Amino acid sequence: MSNFAELTYDGKTYQLPVVEGSEGEKAIDISKLRSTSGLITIDKGFKNTGATESAITFLDGEKGILRHRGYSIEELADKSSFIEVSYLLIYGELPTQEELSAFKNDITQHTLVHEDVKAILEGFPSKAHPMGVLSSLVSSLTAFYPKSLDPNRSVEEVNGTIIRLLAKLPTLAAWAFKNRMRQPLVYPNNNLDYCSNFLRMMFGLPTEEYNINPVVANALDKLLILHADHEQNCSASTVRIVGSSHASLYASVSAGIAALWGPLHGGANQAVIEMLEAIKADGGDVSKYVAKAKDKSDPFRLMGFGHRVYKNFDPRARIIKQAADDVLEALGVDDPVLEIARELESVALKDQYFIDRGLYPNVDFYSGIIYRALGIPTDMFTVMFALGRLPGWIAQWKEMRENGDPIGRPRQVYTGHNERPYVSINER
């Protein structure tokens, strides 16, 4: 078998190397195509373009496989913790007990944010979307830690930036929620674990003790694991391309948060709840909306079913379904919207129409259910997504910088006017 592909154009043939990844994925290397032939490629949305080589995450949508650094998502969700998975993604290997303890301790020591951040937060109106608030606050960290702008700083200094961001994002995310609710800010408690601390900062009040529900904390930990990284998606690619200019980690992740904010990326679990609320407002007849979903002439689409990448099933959904059931049982939630969700889930898992088309409940469906059960407003759902995706963004940024990837600079095919003379304003 040849290790190159041939492209014939205008009577000339060009040989393009074929590279192969560790899981057998093959790609045509076109890095010298323009210099040798004058041609570029067009791939709108980069659906067929590999922007980089990465050792972080392997995803096979046809087979429903998701692995981080070689470890299956099923095993990580069952046996690991979010902090341990974060270490794995960022540093490449599962930590020893000593490394994990040191990692946890480092994060714990940096959960506080500068008091001046509160002044920035107070400048936002209460109706400001929490994702806009979060993106702004993360970007502002560059001002508080200007050394993060130095692309030539030491490994220890880079690691310090990583630790600070991991430690402070839950604080900033919880404070974005408090701003939305116009409630007093709650400072971190370093005696609590990562997820418990976040829940306390989210839902705690100065007037009373907040009791951590271990079922809820465990479900949140699993949710964060399941969202930790997902290969070269829109936000991860954004973090990489911003970071390729040698922008700070804070600025790069801030850009990733902005990319995630878009409804076509991170807003899927919010769309699930909005769909369920619309069904409830229309009388709660699930069978009516199942029929609408099957009707090709009807614009209605079920949100939270199927997946762009996973063609048969989302391996993450199987894991989080149990967590969703545990949370609903532990909290004893009586919510007609969530009852509609259960009815839709039952139909999708049994109806041959949905089975044949791979329209199974995905991770966004179940995460939306969990967040609603916890009392988290829908416009905070994407913030929760960002909290989970943070270690993946950091890992992507770190890998890109360590590999010396060049600055991102896509080409284009120009389709505008040819050269034309300037016409003075009184002659137009």
Task: Give me the sheet containing 57-60, strands edge to edge.
Answer: 57-60, 65-68, 71-72
Q: Which two tokens stand for residue 182?
A: 């116009």
**What 3-state class would DSSP assign to 374?**
coil
Q: Which two tokens stand for residue 117?
A: 């951040």
Distance CA 361, CA 122 (A): 39
Inter-residue contact 234 to 393 (CB < 8 Å): no
Q: Supply the DSSP symbol for 361.
A: B
Whether residue 364 lies in the annotated active site: yes
- Enumerate the β-bridge partners of residue 205: 208
Nearest one of 386, 158, 374, 410 to 253, comparing CA atoms: 386
Catalytic residue among 221, 229, 314, 364: 364
Distance CA 67, CA 55 (A): 11
Q: 144, exposed or middle or buried, with CB in 10 Å at 0-12, 13-18, 19+?
A: middle
Distance CA 237, CA 326 (A): 34
Look-up of token digits 């003075």: 424
Inter-residue contact 388 to 68 (CB < 8 Å): no
Q: In whole angstroms, what separates CA 52 from the centre of its chain? A: 18
State the Cα angle at 253 between 260 and 388, rounded to 5°: 60
Catalytic residue among 68, 227, 307, 314: 307
Distance CA 34, CA 52 (A): 18
Q: Which are the catalytic amino acids?
A: 307, 364
